[in-house]
Amino acid sequence: METGLKVAVFGAYGHTGRFVVAELRDRGFVPVLSGRDPDKLKALSVSGPGLDDTRPASVDDPESLDRALAGAAAVINCAGPFATTAAPVIEAALRAGIPYLDVAAEIEANADTFARYADRAEAAGAVVVPAMAFYGGLGDLLATAAMGDWTTADEAHIAYGLSGWHPTAGTRAAGAVSRQRRDGRRVRYANGRLEYRQDEAPTLTWPFPDPVGPRAVIGEFSMADVVTVPSHLSVPEVRTYMTVEAARDLSSPDTPPPAPADEHGRSEQTFLVDVVVRSGGVERRAVARGRDIYAVTAPLVVEAVDRILTGRTRRDGVASAGAIFDAPDFLRALSSHLSLELHS
């Protein structure tokens, strides 16, 4: 598909940003490379054709952000920690009158986006989509698809069956910011609100579908889904789980960053996301399987950009993936990147 539309990518030279830039180019968009470091932008620009539009910018310099977004049809923020970058880039997008999307996994940063910008974005007819990524976006789409015609549910469970987790430097930096903001506490979504707790998260067994099977998981290992799912679905209990091995990889300072293992730059990591929603004793399920949580974020966020720019959305304002898009149709559009199962 040839669109010719320019899409700015802030944090283009980061690990996830590079996947997003490549996906935009493959989908016919013209990436505008932006970020704080001019040398890294230059290095990225010579890595392939169609990457010559580089625009250094800093979140501390609104005018540089305005220059970065000039003439762009949308902006994707891939630069964490999002507690620092989200608000300045959203402000620039609102000034430019273009859609904003990010790939934030930071719970508090996503909650801030909903709280700070819901009214302004809706009044302006603007589109702001936080957490349009593996964490926050995919789980929300799966939960929405699993809900089907239900308007409410008693609980939603999102279990992450990762073969392992080699975190990027950005993931580590974002995690440090989140821990600091929580004062070392953990967070969960229960009783219709975010709750901060001092106790240890429980360990239990989750019955993943084949080929993963039953695995030990950290219960209440909260990810961005505890913000995105209840932002539009009436579910008072949203719990997320992580395989013990992946949680240990993330917490260990000795775990190396992800290493490319194929021609697309994807790592060997595989994932299975198992979503279960329950209401009145009835259960519905959605399952997605794929490879590399960072790489799969690119088709998620670029598909979202394409749908926004072609008017295939349900609303304006600040909205999660499941609220703004037709969830089953969106997931089916990613069939070359994900396998999907829906069970009533």
Query: Residue 75 is inside which H or E element, if any?
Result: strand 74-77
CATH number of the CATH domain containing 184: 3.30.360
What is residue 2's predicted lDDT score, i.e. its pLDDT? 56
Residues 285 and 145 both lie in one domain: yes
Q: Which residues are registered as beta bridge partners of 67? A: none
Report whether 198 contacts 185 (CB < 8 A): yes
Residues 39 and 175 both lie in one domain: no
The distance between the two most distant Cα atoms of the chain, rounded to a whole number of Å, is: 57
Query: Residue 215 corresponds to which tokens in the numbers above?
Result: 């695995």
Residue 190 placed within a domain: yes
Residues 285 and 302 both lie in one domain: no
The DSSP result for 49-92, as a single string, is: TT---EEE--TT-HHHHHHHHTT-SEEEE--S-HHHHHHHHHHH
Range of the domain at 19: 6-132+297-328
Residue 92 placed within a domain: yes
Query: Residue 179 corresponds to which tokens in the numbers above?
Result: 């821990």
What is residue 312's predicted lDDT score, i.e. its pLDDT? 98
Residues 145 and 288 both lie in one domain: yes
Q: What is the mean pLDDT of each run of 10 residues along the chain (344 residues)?
A: 86 98 97 98 95 97 98 98 97 98 97 97 97 98 97 97 97 93 94 96 96 96 97 98 98 97 96 98 97 98 98 97 98 97 86
What's the structural domain count of the chain?
2
CATH number of the CATH domain containing 93: 3.40.50.720
Q: Which residues are registered as beta bridge partners of 283? A: 278
